[in-house]
Amino acid sequence: MNSTPFPRSTALHTDRYELTMVDAAIQHGTADTECMFEVFARRLPGARRYGIVAGTGRLLDLIRDFRFENTELDWLRDNDIVTTRTLDWLADYRFSGSIWGYREGEAYFPNSPILIVESSFAEGVLLETLALSVLNYDSAVANAATRMVTAARGRPLAEMGSRRANEHSAVAAARAAYIAGFGATSNLEAGRTWGIPTMGTAAHAFTLLHESEDDAFRAQVAAVGSGTTLLVDTYDVMEGVRAAVRAAGTELGAVRLDSGDLPTLVVEVRELLDSLGATGTKITVTNDLDEHAIATLAAVPVDSYGVGTSVVTGSGSPAAGMVYKLVARRGTDGDWVSVAKKSPDKVSVGGRKFPVRRLNAANVAVEELIYVGDGPETSDQHATSERPLLVQLIDQGAIDTRFTGAEGTRRARDHRARILAELPADASRLGRGDPTLPTTFRS
């Protein structure tokens, strides 16, 4: 067994039944059966028009760190989770299979094969919980965030929901929102880890620390300059705006509103700022916003938005509803055998798959087309009007690092911006409805 400690191991970020399945498969002689697993969503959460894949780069890092070291093995042994034979197998576990997937930042639809894992049964089944915990949460955040970006109509958004999520989810949410089009986050760990621009100035506590708003604003301006953003709604908003301009002058960067009847208040604040000569001072709002609240502010002079609770909780859909299913295995004759679940309301489509997005002459998407029986290695066998959707993320255990780290996060953000131009116009609707593209299977 391994003797070198690996403090970043993610091996126990899994469910017990995955280890007991491996244990049984090892004892029965089926652990090495070549299999294909698939991540997909049967439907889009909240009856939305499309989803955005997020979390892939994080997942690749977590698979890299999926190692059973002495600490994990001792715990499994002490708690009688698996047999000694399986413990010996786990000690040498390294994912050596191949994984394909939709690019991070890609749009997806019901039954899109978002992630395809080809490996032995034992190697692949261990990744189920890890893959779903990452992709379900990160994609849920990205799904909500992309709707907010659409509703903002080009105005900047900042993610500031760390206090509404656990400490790890907060960082993941900031990354997913950035991929979906948010421009910054308040979370410093997300900035350090993923290269996301960070923002933030002061909360109400800083104003309450001082004898008056004037004192608080002067202290903030002295510390960070007149281009700062001053929070003006601790007491009376209009008096706060006047105090902000007194402290910073007409070069004041921005004022922030965190309460009140925003559509009316924004107009009044804009008029007051202009009357005071602060015509270049921007207005940012941060009061329990979601995509619908942002849409209602489209006609008023808001310059930017800060979103917290709604984005980190998926705006009412905190999980993307993705599942991880075995869809094919090698038969005794060496050929692939399609397998699928047939339970009512949970029917899945078995078989190896190759998805493309079919485009019309104007390069607008018209269909999510999934070829069944063709594996992901057939990426060069498609019509010119069909855009292949899979990229190889892991090749026989080797991770493609283009999709990881800060650079991978930027690539995902850029990809999301590009592919939205390909979707039909009704994809931007915020109301509940059918997916903007139909999903078709073709054998």
CATH (domain of 291):
3.20.20.70
- Say what the pLDDT of residue 16 is: 97
Q: Are residues 228 and 116 in the same domain?
A: no
What tens digit of pLDDT does each residue of 251-304 get? 999 999 999 999 999 999 999 999 999 999 999 999 899 999 999 999 999 999
Percent pLDDT > 90 in the chain is 92
Q: Report if residue 6 sits inside a domain.
A: no
Out of 288, 316, 344, a domain closes at 316
Give CA–CA dist 227/255, Å, rounded.
10
Mention every residue, 6+ apart, whose C-beta is less than 8 A from residue 117.
36, 37, 38, 39, 97, 98, 99, 124, 127, 131
Q: Report if residue 11 sits inside a domain.
A: no
Q: Are residues 91 and 178 in the same domain?
A: no
Q: Report if residue 1 sits inside a domain.
A: no
Torsion of the alpha carbons at 119, 125, 129 and 132, rounded to the nearest 10? 50
The pTM of this model reads 0.95
In angstroms, the Cα distances linking 368 to 25, 166, 228 are 36, 35, 46
- Say what the pLDDT of residue 338 is: 95
Q: Are residues 160 and 296 in the same domain?
A: yes
Mean pLDDT of 327-349: 90
Q: Report if residue 211 sits inside a domain.
A: yes
- Say what the pLDDT of residue 380 is: 62
Q: Report if residue 8 sits inside a domain.
A: no
What tens digit of pLDDT does each residue of 118-172 get? 999 999 999 999 999 999 999 999 999 999 999 999 999 999 999 999 999 999 9
pLDDT band at 384 (very low <50, low <70, confident <90, very high): confident
Q: Are residues 411 and 430 in the same domain?
A: yes
Q: Are residues 300 and 325 in the same domain?
A: no
- Say what the pLDDT of residue 121 is: 98
Q: Are residues 326 and 290 in the same domain?
A: no
Q: Report if residue 428 sits inside a domain.
A: yes
What tens digit of pLDDT does each residue of 204-230 get? 999 999 999 999 999 999 999 999 999
Q: Are residues 102 and 176 in the same domain?
A: no
Q: Which residue has the tokens 């190759």?
A: 354
- Say what the pLDDT of residue 5 is: 37
Q: Report if residue 137 sits inside a domain.
A: no
Q: Are residues 384 and 281 in the same domain?
A: no
Q: Are residues 185 and 284 in the same domain?
A: yes
Mean pLDDT of 178-207: 97
pLDDT band at 8 (very low <50, low <70, confident <90, very high): confident
Least confident among 171-180, 187-196, 225-234, 335-344: 335-344
Give CA–CA dist 272/216, Å, rounded.
21
Per-residue pLDDT for 1 more than 50? no
Which CATH number does the domain housing residue 61 bear?
3.20.140.10
Out of 316, 335, 366, a domain closes at 316
Provide the domain count of the chain: 2
Give CA–CA dist 91/184, Å, rounded.
41
How would you label 178-205 residue by residue, b for 16+ Cβ within 10 Å and e otherwise? Answer: bbbbbbbbbbebbbebbebeebeebeee
What tens digit of pLDDT does each residue of 393-443 get? 999 999 999 999 999 999 999 999 999 999 999 999 999 999 999 999 998
Q: Which residue range forms the structural domain that includes residue 173? A: 142-316
pLDDT band at 374 (very low <50, low <70, confident <90, very high): confident
Q: Are residues 242 and 271 in the same domain?
A: yes
Q: Report if residue 2 sits inside a domain.
A: no
Q: Are residues 289 and 328 in the same domain?
A: no
Give CA–CA dist 126/14, Å, rounded.
7
Q: Are residues 340 and 418 in the same domain?
A: yes
Out of 316, 336, 365, a domain closes at 316
Mean pLDDT of 41-66: 96
Residue 326 phi, psi dihedral angles, 5° rounding: -75, 125
